[in-house]
């Protein structure tokens, strides 16, 4: 379903086996060095989600090749299969792939009570669509507008296996996750909480 121009939601895009495989990969990526960490914002606040980055390390507000605000380790490489997955996702949403190769994955883990305030993803130097995949507990995803952090917005329920692609005029829209729905993960997946994987194009050299 097209929620707004360029914002395409595909419920249940990943089947149960693909969800289990992706979860197992996320657990491996979360291990140190350069594993799961808590991000501290410039104002001293800590994000309630915990994150691991592949390809490029995101920190507020930029990208680096090492965990500049953590253990200092080199960021794990971006796995080629995630590039293929991003290409398939964009083709599913728009009918054709993106010209630029994907080179960043950000994995966000939402434990009980975790949320993400309204923000824009503006640290990439590419206008390529952001591919979002959800695993585990459902959540309320709040899709706003490019001009203000405030209304109008549309709340969309995201569930395990859902794909969301944000491109075109939606690429720089404000968005957030006001709440998850604890206990709603598919029992067979074996995940308590929610994982979101975003695939991005950095637009950075090499
Ligand atoms: C999440 N993560 O569900 C979301 C999914 C983040 C983040 O917001 O920054 O890690 S990504 C949603 C997204 C990305 C780019 C543009 C838009 C939404 N948008 O225009 O709404 O954990
Ligand atoms: Fe975001």
Task: Dump pLDDT digits (tens) for 164-202.
Answer: 999 999 999 999 999 999 999 999 999 999 999 999 999
Place of tokens 């959800």: 134
Residue 173 Cβ inside 6 Å of ligand 1? The answer reads yes
Query: What confidence score (pLDDT) does residue 57 get?
Result: 98
Residue 123 Cβ inside 6 Å of ligand 1? The answer reads no
Largest Cα–Cα distance of the chain, in whole Å?
A: 43
Q: Which ligand sits nearest to residue 145's alpha carbon? A: 1
Please name the helix (run of DSSP H) or strand (run of DSSP E) that holds residue 108, with its range, or none: strand 104-110
Dig out the tokens for 191 from the structure.
Answer: 């995940």
Place of tokens 């507990």: 137
Q: How far is the CA of 120 from the centre of ligand 2 (A)?
A: 6
pLDDT averaged over every residue in the chain: 98
Q: Which atom of ligand 1 is nearest to the CA of 144?
A: 21
- Asked if 26 contacts 191 with a C-beta cutoff of 8 angstroms, the reply is no
Separation of first and last alpha carbons in the chain: 35
Residue 56 Cβ inside 6 Å of ligand 1? The answer reads no
| pLDDT exceeds cutoff 90 at 14 | yes
Q: How far is the CA of 176 from the centre of ligand 2 (A)?
A: 7
> pLDDT per residue over 89-98, tens digit each?
999 999 999 9
At 85 the three-state DSSP class reads helix
ipTM above 0.95, yes or no: yes
- Asked if 85 contacts 54 with a C-beta cutoff of 8 angstroms, the reply is no
Pocket test for ligand 1, best of 56, 114, 128, 132 (most atoms within 8 A of CB): 132
Q: How far is the CA of 119 from the centre of ligand 2 (A)?
A: 6
Quote the DSSP letter at residue 29.
H
Give Cβ neighbours of residue 99 (< 8 Å, ≥ 6 apart). Answer: none
Query: What confidence score (pLDDT) does residue 206 get?
Result: 81
Query: What confidence score (pLDDT) does residue 159 get?
Result: 99
Please state, in angstroms and as integers, the Cα–Cα distance from residue 142 to each residue in 2, 85, 100, 106, following that order: 15, 24, 27, 19
Residue 165 Cβ inside 6 Å of ligand 1? The answer reads no
Compute CA 108 distance to the chain's CA centroid, rounded to the nearest angstrom. 6
CA-angle at 125, arms to 121 and 72, nearest 5°? 75
Q: Which ligand sits nearest to residue 110's alpha carbon? A: 1
Outline where DSSP puts E strands in the chain.
2-4, 7-10, 37-40, 46-54, 57-59, 62-64, 104-110, 116-119, 130-136, 138-143, 154-158, 163-166, 175-181, 194-200
| Residue 205's pLDDT band (cuts 50, 70, 90) | very high
Residue 128 Cβ inside 6 Å of ligand 1? The answer reads no
Q: Which atom of ligand 1 is nearest to the CA of 134?
A: 3
Domain locations along the chain = 2-200
At 81 the three-state DSSP class reads helix
Identify the CATH class of 2-200: mainly beta
| Residue 54's pLDDT band (cuts 50, 70, 90) | very high
Residue 130 Cβ inside 6 Å of ligand 1? The answer reads yes
Query: What confidence score (pLDDT) does residue 109 get?
Result: 98
Query: What confidence score (pLDDT) does residue 158 get?
Result: 99
- Asked if 65 contacts 59 with a C-beta cutoff of 8 angstroms, the reply is no
Q: Which atom of ligand 1 is nearest to the CA of 110?
A: 22
| pLDDT exceeds cutoff 90 at 5 | yes
Place of tokens 């491996």: 28
């Amino acid at each position: 379903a097209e929620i707004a121009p360029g914002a395409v939601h595909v419920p249940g895009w990943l089947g149960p086996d693909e969800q289990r495989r992706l979860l197992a990969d996320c657990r491996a990526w979360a291990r140190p060095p350069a594993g799961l960490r808590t991000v501290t914002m410039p104002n001293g606040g800590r994000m309630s989600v915990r994150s691991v980055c592949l390809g490029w390390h995101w920190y507020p507000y930029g990208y680096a090749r090492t965990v500049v605000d953590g253990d200092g380790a080199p960021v794990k490489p971006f796995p080629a299969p995630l590039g293929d997955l991003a290409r398939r996702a964009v083709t599913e949403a728009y009918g054709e792939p993106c010209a630029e190769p994907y080179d960043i994955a950000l994995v966000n883990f939402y434990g009980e009570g975790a949320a993400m305030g309204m923000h824009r993803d503006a640290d990439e130097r590419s206008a390529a669509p952001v591919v979002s995949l959800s695993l585990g507990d459902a959540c309320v995803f709040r899709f706003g507008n490019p001009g203000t952090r405030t209304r109008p917005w549309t709340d969309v329920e995201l569930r395990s296996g859902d794909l969301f692609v944000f491109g075109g005029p939606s690429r720089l829209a404000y968005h957030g996750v006001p709440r998850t729905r604890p206990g709603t993960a598919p029992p067979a997946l074996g995940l308590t909480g929610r994982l979101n994987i975003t695939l991005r194009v950095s637009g950075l050299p090499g």
